[in-house]
A and B are shown apart, each in its own frame.
Chain A
Amino acid sequence: MSYVSYQTRMAAQATVNERVEFLKKVYLHLGGAILGWIALMTVLYNSSFGQNLAFSLAKNWIVLMIAFMAAGHFASKWAFQMGNPTKQYLGLGLYVVAQAVIFMPLLMYVKAIAASKGVAVTNMIGSAGIITGVTFGGLTLTALVSKKDFSFLGRALQLLSFAALGMIIVSWVFSGVQLGDFFAMAMVVLMGGYVLYYTSTIMRQFPIGSHVAASLALFSTIATMFYYVLMLVSSRD
């Protein structure tokens, strides 16, 4: 078997040891990305630069979202450049930075909410983190242990994401519309679907060696889920 065909072999066609090794790398990279993301958010959150950034981003939300989407597009494109590890890691790094930046306005909002309720902001963030972690862990275990192929969810996820995106766009433009708890709950359920979908496609359709791209796919799902869980937690009395 040639080197090239080995590199592009799907996880489903690999030996058990190769697949286990691949999954280990995926979750190690995912862990690294999450730690990097937390560290970067902590630095930004505690710096005056981060606070100024959050306020200016909150005023230019549409520009921020367009930049975020562009960053996401290039990050996933680079992360899947097989045979070019530098670009793969650059893609993952870019996405981690983009996620940390997009969280700044929300963290400042949560800080203000926590202050008004007399609750420590770290409690809110911690609760959201635990809920997200437990949900992600439970769904990942479900997909890994059941070995069920959830790729049939792909089309539904695509359509529901389109619906959610449409609602976000209308709510930006029509300033009177604030998306609330029901929308956040829908997004958490939707991200749960993505966790099942990505976990099972990573085990089957991702090529061995694409662990950086696989970890980016999972990281994007966790970060989005955490975003909406944090919104829900902060809106509770």
Chain B
Amino acid sequence: MFSPDKDNAKEQKAETSGERVFITIFTGIVCGLLALEIFQDVTPSRLAMVWFFLAYFALTALHEIAHALVARLVGWAVVGLKVGIGPIITRSVWFGVPVEWRLFPIVGLVEVLPKNLQSPRLKNACIYAAGPGVELLIAGLLTAYLGWDTMLSPTDSYVVAGLQATALAAVFGAGFNLIPFSPQPGVVTDGLGICLSPFLTDEHFKRLMAQPALDQGRRLLEMGDPKGAKTIFNDLLIHCPMLLEAHMGLARAQVDLGHAEYALMEFRNVVQALPDSEQERGQIALQQLRDYIKDKP
């Protein structure tokens, strides 16, 4: 279903007490009706719906952990792991990775960064495949345990129905994630990530590798340390001379140090030297730099 452009969308949160009451009543009515549907006649098959959701929540966490584990195994850095949407339940650090758990664990996100350019496309594809892979593995193990016939047959056993529902949740989660599409701009499913991996350029991975340094430089700029930021962006440009974001950071540092005209001239030269495919991005960045200079007191 269509979603409006997220950049223009208001943060979807109930802000006033009236909105909170409305949302509580609305959610209560729908959940109440769904619960009545499930529990009107308690049978193993009906309770399988409850099992399905519980299993899906656990599998979502397992899916994300599998992405992170494989990223670590292939030598990439795991920057963060988030499971769920809605209010944050708890934050913790696992093996040096910040982990965030939210109330509704129906989706998740793992942020990974390459550390070098050794087979980055293959490693990227493996990391994407790990999430649905572990779900398919669980479905396969459950099928092997129950047997194909039992897995597909109606049952009077609550345990068997629970295992069937778990396998179904695993297949559904893996199947949905393997469909190659982009649910919203900038987000791809694991399936599309795997398909796109062979076509990613070295520049893409270099940009990812530069991300921590870019973030650090930007933080220093925000903290009012343009000299420190300039050193970081200069170092970065030695390794990635064509990285537009690093040039932009350097130009901002120069502006903050009082060399606005020089920064603008240098940055214009950088944009002119960009390939045609990058020109539009470069022009937008150039305009942002002009605005940045204009807004400076």
Contacts and interface: CB of A to CB of B under 8 A. Distances in A.
B8 A183 contact: no
A183 B37 contact: yes
Given A154-B12, A174-B45, A182-B37, A166 B52 contact: yes
A204 B86 CA distance: 23
Interface stretch (B26-34, B73-81, B128-136, B196-204): B26-34
Contact of B37 (A169, A179, A220): A179
Contacts of B1: 72, 76, 217, 220
Interface string A158-196: 111011101101110111110110110110011001000
Given A166-B56, A182-B37, A220-B1, A156 B43 contact: no
A209 to B, nearest CB: 13
Contact of A156 (B27, B46, B49): B27
A59 interface: no
Contact of B34 (A167, A213, A216): A167
Interface stretch (A16-24, A44-52, A145-153): A145-153
Contact of B161 (A153, A167, A174, A180): A174
Contacts of B90: none
Interface residues of A, number: 47
B33 A189 contact: yes
B36 interface: yes
Given A167-B38, A176-B43, A205-B10, A156 B23 contact: yes
A151 B10 contact: yes
B45 A176 contact: yes
A79 B4 CA distance: 12
A169 B52 contact: yes
B68 to A, nearest CB: 23
B53 interface: yes
Interface in A98-117: none
Nearest to A188: B33
A180 B41 CA distance: 11
B177 to A, nearest CB: 14
A167 B104 contact: no
B249 to A, nearest CB: 27
Contact of B31 (A154, A160, A204): A160
Nearest to A155: B12
A171 B34 CA distance: 13
B70 to A, nearest CB: 26
B53 A152 contact: no
A72 B3 CA distance: 13
Interface in B9-28: 9-10, 12-15, 19, 23, 26-27
A213 B26 contact: no
A205 B19 contact: no
Interface stretch (B164-172, B259-267, B279-287): B164-172
A190 B154 contact: no
A135 interface: no
A220 B1 CA distance: 8
Nearest to B34: A186
Interface string B145-172: 0000000001000000100110010001
B10 A169 contact: no
A201 B12 CA distance: 11
A37 interface: no
A58 interface: no
Interface string A85-100: 0000000000000000
Nearest to A162: B106
Contacts of A220: 1
A152 B13 CA distance: 5
A189 B26 contact: yes
A217 B30 CA distance: 21
B36 to A, nearest CB: 4
A80 interface: yes
17 contacts: A152-B14, A152-B23, A153-B12, A155-B12, A160-B27, A164-B34, A173-B168, A174-B45, A174-B48, A174-B161, A179-B37, A182-B33, A185-B33, A186-B29, A186-B34, A189-B30, A216-B2
Interface of B: 1-2, 4-5, 8-10, 12-15, 19, 23, 26-27, 29-31, 33-34, 36-38, 40, 43, 45-46, 48-49, 52-53, 56, 85-86, 104, 106, 154, 161, 164-165, 168, 172, 181
Given A149-B10, A174-B164, 18 more contacts: A10-B8, A152-B13, A152-B19, A153-B26, A156-B27, A158-B85, A163-B31, A164-B34, A166-B53, A169-B168, A170-B168, A175-B154, A177-B46, A177-B49, A180-B40, A182-B37, A182-B40, A220-B1
